[in-house]
């Protein structure tokens, strides 16, 4: 059993902890946080399913006053694990890295950190093998994770040499107040970081893109225009066939009721998925169209949960639990129940 810890029990950390707990070949040793946040209070009210450790600077008296038990310090947790999953706020992971280095423990960081925090900028499908045995991995952001899943799917099956994307980005997570009460769309300077990130991980694909922030909280939507490698056209049928075989891509239809981002959130809740999470991206069958030599399609990114499977792949790569992407992603998918909707 590979021993795993989670630093930062927030939006991503809670989901990473649940994801690790579901892996049959990993053990979640505990989670660490700085403050008795609502998520930490909910953990206590649920009966402390995970052991809690306090990071440096945490005020223990606040935890004591609320009767929230903790097992020890952050260093205690780091000393017990093979790999730390760092989901602390963007930038804080780089500081935590000093502790991981001192303890000689591997770590996997999330998208809010700079690329320089890690040896490998990682995606479970597109460059798993580069992560093999690495000490420090950084996951792609939520949008980039889902985007690369779909582009890699076409690339693996047919070859892709060019993509252009438009990202319609949710501005905050449910429950966030720090972005204010908004009713406006906001443009980012092109090219979007997701296009640049895609090229870092898939250097053989030329990518560019535009990002528009929207005042919604349940999911981003990305439209992708992709061009087949060596001028080989990817037809609508070819794209659909490839997407349908992918265990982290749920192909849906508008006529079945998947009208937009909210339909996915509602469906995930109807499925009884904790917190209304979806590990898979949604891909609208009725969005796939040909435009000259290009193929175009739209995907839905459940931003809070989409990076969890690729982070599990990251543990598999760093610890060399499996030596190739196909067997590693298959193991993660089995443990998370991915692809079950196809049966």
Which residues are designated catalytic?
A: 142
* Sheet hosting strand 2-7, strand order edge to edge: 72-73, 52-54, 26-33, 2-7, 83-86, 106-109, 136-139, 120-122
Name the residue nearer to ligand NAD (CB basis): 21 or 296: 21
Contacts of 327 (CB under 8 A, 6+ apart): none
Tell me how far apart the alpha carbons of residues 33 and 211 are, in angstroms, rounded to a whole number: 32
Which token pair is 219?
């999911």
Q: Which residues contact 50 (CB under 8 A, 6 or more apart)?
A: 17, 21, 28, 30, 31, 43
Nearest to ligand NAD of 73, 157 (CB atom): 73
- Closest to ligand NAD by CB, 87 vs 333, is 87
Shortest separation between residue 34's beta carbon and ligand NAD, angstroms? 4
Choose between 16 and 234: whose C-beta lies nearer to ligand NAD. 16
Smallest separation, CB 297 to ligand NAD (Å): 22
| Residue 207: strand pairing partners | 163
| Cβ at position 73, least distance to ligand NAD in Å | 12
Nearer to ligand NAD, 84 or 288 (CB): 84
Query: Which residue of this chain has its Cβ atom nearest to ligand NAD in the complex?
Result: 10
Q: CB 88 → ligand NAD: shortest distance, Å?
A: 4
Residues that bind ligand NAD (CB under 6 A): 7-13, 32-35, 37, 55, 87-90, 92, 96, 110-113, 141-142, 173, 303-304, 307
Nearer to ligand NAD (CB atom), residue 55 or residue 242: 55
CB of 37 to ligand NAD, least distance (A): 5
In the numeric block, which tokens belong to residue 213? Answer: 């922030």
Q: Please state the closest distance from residue 67 (CB atom) to ligand NAD, in A.
A: 19
CA 88 to chain centre: 14
Residue listed under structure tokens 């997407």: 243
């Amino acid at each position: 059993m590979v021993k795993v810890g989670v630093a930062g029990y927030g939006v991503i950390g809670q989901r990473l902890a649940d994801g690790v707990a579901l892996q049959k070949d990993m053990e979640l040793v505990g989670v660490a946080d700085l403050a008795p946040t609502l998520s930490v209070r909910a953990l206590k009210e649920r009966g402390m399913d995970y052991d809690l450790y306090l990071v440096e600077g945490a005020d223990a008296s606040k935890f004591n006053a609320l009767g929230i038990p903790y097992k020890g310090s952050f260093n205690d947790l780091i000393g017990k694990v093979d790999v730390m999953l760092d989901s602390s706020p963007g930038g804080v992971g780089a500081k935590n890295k000093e502790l991981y280095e001192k303890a000689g423990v591997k770590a996997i960081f999330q998208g809010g950190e700079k690329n320089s925090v890690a040896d490998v900028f990682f995606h479970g499908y597109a460059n798993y093998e580069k992560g093999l045995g690495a000490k420090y991995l950084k996951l792609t952001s939520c949008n980039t994770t889902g985007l690369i899943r779909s582009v890699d799917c076409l690339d693996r099956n047919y070859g892709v040499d060019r993509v252009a994307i438009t990202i319609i980005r949710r501005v905050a997570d449910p429950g966030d107040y720090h972005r204010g009460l908004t009713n406006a769309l906001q443009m980012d300077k092109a090219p979007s970081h997701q296009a640049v990130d895609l090229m870092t991980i898939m250097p053989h694909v030329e990518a560019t893109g535009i990002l528009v922030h929207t005042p919604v909280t349940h999911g981003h939507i990305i439209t992708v225009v992709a061009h087949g490698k060596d001028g080989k056209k990817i037809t609508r049928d070819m794209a659909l066939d490839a997407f349908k075989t992918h265990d982290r891509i749920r192909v849906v239809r508008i006529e079945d009721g998947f009208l937009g981002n909210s339909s996915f959130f509602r469906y995930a809740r109807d499925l009884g998925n904790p917190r209304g999470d979806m590990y898979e991206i949604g891909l609208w069958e009725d969005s796939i169209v040909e435009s000259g030599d290009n193929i175009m399609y739209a995907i839905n990114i459940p931003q809070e949960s989409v990076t969890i499977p690729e982070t599990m792949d990251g543990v598999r790569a760093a610890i060399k639990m499996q030596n190739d992407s196909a067997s590693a992603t298959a193991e993660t998918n089995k443990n998370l129940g991915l692809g079950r909707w196809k049966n």
